Amino acid sequence: MQAAQVQAAQTARVQGAPGEPLAAPGGTMAPAMQLAIALLTAGLDSSELEAWAADEFIPADTDGLADFMAGLHVISVVLLHELQEATGEPPAAILQRLAMLAEQGRGTPSAD
């Protein structure tokens, strides 16, 4: 991730975890990223924990939801960059492969 992207992500306004106050403008993306990671890792454990985490952690207000989505985006960009470094594949190829894996997991036939 380029330094400008990291700085822009870190200065966005974010919603903290449940019970934490809304970060002021110029705050960091850390709370939104932590929230995204909590939800993503809950899904690794069980579908029941994922459903509970989604109900508990995803903010109901539009600002909080937007911040949460921004956190998911930052985590996705970081993971995509890590996959690119590990495999040497371009991001488009990685995303295509991930989309096909997700499609297979749902049992949906691939449209070639």
Residues with Cβ within 8 Å of 109's Cβ and at least 6 positions away in sequence, in order, are 103
Question: In 1-112, at which residue ranges do the beta strands (DSSP E only) sit?
Answer: none
Per residue in 13-62, pLDDT (tens digit) is 344 444 454 444 455 678 888 888 888 888 888 889 989 988 888 888 88
CB 39 within 8 A of CB 54: yes
Asked if residue 64 has pLDDT above 70, the reply is yes
Q: What is the pLDDT of residue 92?
A: 93
Residue 95, CA distances (Å) to 31, 84, 100 in order:
26, 10, 9
Residue 64 backbone phi and psi in degrees, to 5? -65, -40
Tens digits of residue pLDDT in 73-96 = 888 999 999 999 999 999 999 999
Residue 107 pLDDT: 67
Q: What is the pLDDT of residue 91?
A: 92
